[in-house]
Amino acid sequence: MSTTVGPAPAAGTLGATASPQAHAVAHPEDKYKHKYLIAIAVTLAAVLELIDTSIVNVAIPHMMGNLGATIDEISWVSTGYIIANVIVIPMSGWLSAYFGRRRYLTGSIMLFVVASFMCGAATSLGGLILWRVVQGLGGGALLSTAQATLFESFPPEEAGIGQAMFGVGVMVGPTIGPTLGGWITDNYNWPWIFYINVPLGILAAIMVMSYVRNAEHQERADRIDIWGILLLTITVGSLQWMLERGERYDWFDSRLVTSLAITAAVSGVALIVRELMTDEPIIDLHVLKSRQLATGVTFAAALGLSLYGGVFVLPIFLQQLHGFTAWQTGKVILPGALASAFTMAFVGRNARRLDARYTIVIGSALFMVSMWQLSRITLDSGTDDLFWPLVLRGVGLGLIFVPLTNASMADLSVRQLAQGTGLFNLTRQLGGSLGIALMATLLSRFTATRHAVLTEHVGAWDPASASRLDMIARGLMAHGVNPIVAKQQALFVLDRQISAQASVLAFSKIYLLNGIILLAALPLLLFWKTGRGRGSMGPSH
């Protein structure tokens, strides 16, 4: 490793080299002078990245009609973005050191902004997919680099406050994405889901360029780890592609999915060997020698699986079974997101006095209770029945996120933070992708199983079924339907009712499974040496 990348020069001299004397006379308190402005800037950038992960989903039908694409073709608008995003996340620590954190973060935001504009202006499917990939490459820096920046921008004793501000964005972003996308698409047109990023992204870039400093202890590599980058791209790209397409292609019955799994496994092993043997790796796996971090990233995968799995199935439940629009769904989910934000604000302010092992256990228990309550929701349930379960879920997640992040990074040196946050965000993101893929598969299979079971009890010789069919047919005839047609339509209506009830039972099992997965991860906390966050174990060097 060679020269250390020092603190950034003053605003307006991007790329200039500040003299050592200038830094020598700087007051220590100046380091934290703009901490809240930095937190707002990097959190805004991270929220834009997270929203764009899900905002396009509700606009897919409009894009298909406008661009003349099939559902399989248009799905690459989401898949391409996520794959590019996940590839860059673990590289962000190295890239931040190589280019300088302020320059890299500002450049990534501007790349995201330009790509967003080009996505909105795209007139062909190929162009849209290309710019979504570029957008994902720019967005990959906005999570882990932002999080590492916040750890250094706040005094150690206030680290929880910065992570709470970031955590609000991480939790709220995926929640409001579909709602915001639905509102924009309904009131304007789908290109505006991309254009909205432009002014907000420019604002974030200006603030980052003005206030963010380069990492004080980050060391720049002399050589670029080409093989590491290549193996990382193949490993993470294949794995993410497999998770994105597995359900659609019936998993390992598909030659493509099987090939992707084998490719990810082989290249993953090669990546680990390469990164452990090279002197200047693109991913420094040695940081996982920290028991705190190794435990934290594993738990983060379970959290991502439960969180994103739940975020994925709830809008489907509300929109398919209750007929909610994206905007109505968002209003139902909003109180839970606000509860999460308020809880994180409280936890962040009191981070030094709280032991993460206790708050995470309490938060996981509340999450399990909320999942149990959601599992009891029926077709007759209204929005009031969803309010408290979702608020409880929000409080539970708020008690988990900030303490988990802080305690995971507790014994890392300052120069290890970028690599630590990169791995933490990578595992949470991959856990989320696995959660979405797993829940989509199980939802389909649980629904089919329950439908088959319910159908066994419905037949011409069953008095209750015959009575139900007769009632439906009479209702149809009362509206002027021909008696013969009414009997045929009654069978169709009854089948729809059975399918809806089967879906309710399937969703019930999915909710419970999400809660159980998070509870099953709790024994990992026994491997932690401490539940205290950064700043509670003395200074890190």
Looking at residue 536, what is its pLDDT?
53
Residues of the chain by 3-state class (helix, strand, coil), percent to 5? 80, 0, 20
Are the beta carbons of 109 and 138 closer than 8 angstroms? yes
For residues 367 and 359, give the distance between their C-alpha atoms in angstroms, rounded to a whole number.
12
CA angle, 247 then 252 then 253, to 5°: 90
Q: H or E segment at 102?
A: helix 101-121
Query: Residues 94, 160: one domain?
Result: yes
Query: Residues 263, 300: one domain?
Result: no
Per the structure, how many domains does the chain have? 4
Compute the half-sphere exposure of residue 536: CA atoms within 13 Å on the CB side of its CA.
22
What's the token pair of residue 2?
A: 């060679």
Query: Residues 429, 531: one domain?
Result: yes
For residues 533 and 290, give the distance between their C-alpha atoms in angstroms, rounded to a whole number.
14
What's the token pair of residue 254?
A: 């598909």
**Does any domain span residue 23?**
no
| Amino acid at site 273 | V
Query: Residues 130, 169: one domain?
Result: yes
Token pair 């989903």 is found at 57
501 burial via Cβ count (<10 Å: 0-12, 13-18, 19+) = middle
In the 3-class helix/strand/coil scheme, how is 461-520 assigned residue by residue? CCHHHHHHHHHHHHHHHHCCCCHHHHHHHHHHHHHHHHHHHHHHHHHHHHHHHHHHHHHH
Token pair 């200047």 is found at 280
Q: Look up the domain containing 249 and give its range.
A: 226-277
Query: Residues 334, 441: one domain?
Result: yes
502 φψ region: left (φ > 0), alpha (ψ -120 to 50), beta (else)? alpha
Q: H or E segment at 442?
A: helix 417-456
Encode the chain (541 residues) as per-residue pLDDT tens digits: 444 444 444 434 444 444 443 343 344 556 677 788 888 888 888 888 888 877 777 777 777 777 777 767 777 887 788 888 888 888 888 888 888 888 889 999 999 999 999 998 888 888 888 999 999 898 888 877 887 788 778 887 777 777 777 777 777 776 677 777 778 877 788 888 899 889 999 999 999 888 888 766 666 666 777 888 899 889 988 888 888 777 778 788 888 889 999 999 999 999 999 888 887 788 888 888 888 999 999 999 999 888 877 777 777 777 777 777 767 777 788 888 888 888 888 888 787 788 889 999 999 999 999 999 988 888 777 778 889 999 999 899 889 988 898 888 888 887 788 888 888 888 888 888 888 888 878 888 888 888 777 777 665 556 666 666 667 666 767 766 667 766 666 666 666 777 778 888 888 888 999 999 999 999 999 999 887 766 554 444 4
Query: Residues 187, 315: one domain?
Result: no
* Contacts (Cβ under 8 Å, ≥6 apart) of 140: 49, 84, 85, 86, 87, 88, 89, 91, 92, 108
DSSP lists the bridge partners of residue 219 as 4
Query: Residues 265, 401: one domain?
Result: no
CATH number (domain holding residue 184): 1.20.1250.20
C-alpha closest to that of 318 among 433, 191, 182, 185: 182
Are the beta carbons of 416 and 284 closer than 8 angstroms? yes
**Does any domain span residue 19?**
no
Query: Residues 238, 270: one domain?
Result: yes
**Does any domain span residue 18?**
no
Are the beta carbons of 318 and 58 closer than 8 angstroms? no
Q: Which backbone phi and psi does 219 adopt, to 5 degrees?
A: -110, 135
For residues 121 and 130, give the distance between their C-alpha atoms in angstroms, rounded to a whole number.
12
For residues 415 and 396, give the distance between their C-alpha atoms in angstroms, rounded to a whole number.
31
Are the beta carbons of 101 and 247 closer than 8 angstroms? no
Query: Residues 305, 412: one domain?
Result: yes
Its pTM stands at: 0.78
Query: Residues 38, 90: one domain?
Result: yes
For residues 353 and 357, give the distance between their C-alpha atoms in angstroms, rounded to a whole number.
12
**Does any domain span residue 21?**
no
Query: Residues 319, 206: one domain?
Result: no
pLDDT digits (tens, 9 = 90+) for 490-502: 666 666 777 778 8
Token pair 């993460």 is found at 356
At which of 222, 247, 263 does a domain end?
222
Query: Residues 483, 426: one domain?
Result: no
CA angle, 268 then 273 then 277, to 5°: 145
Looking at residue 19, what is its pLDDT?
40
- Helix, strand, or coil here: 283? coil
C-alpha closest to that of 362 among 406, 310, 400, 330: 400
What's the token pair of residue 96?
A: 């931040």
For residues 144 and 147, give the distance between their C-alpha atoms in angstroms, rounded to a whole number.
5
Token pair 């200039």 is found at 16
* Contacts (Cβ under 8 Å, ≥6 apart) of 353: none
**Does any domain span residue 91?**
yes
Are the beta carbons of 409 and 421 closer than 8 angstroms? yes
Q: Which backbone phi and psi does 130 adopt, to 5 degrees?
A: -55, -50
Looking at residue 2, what is its pLDDT?
42
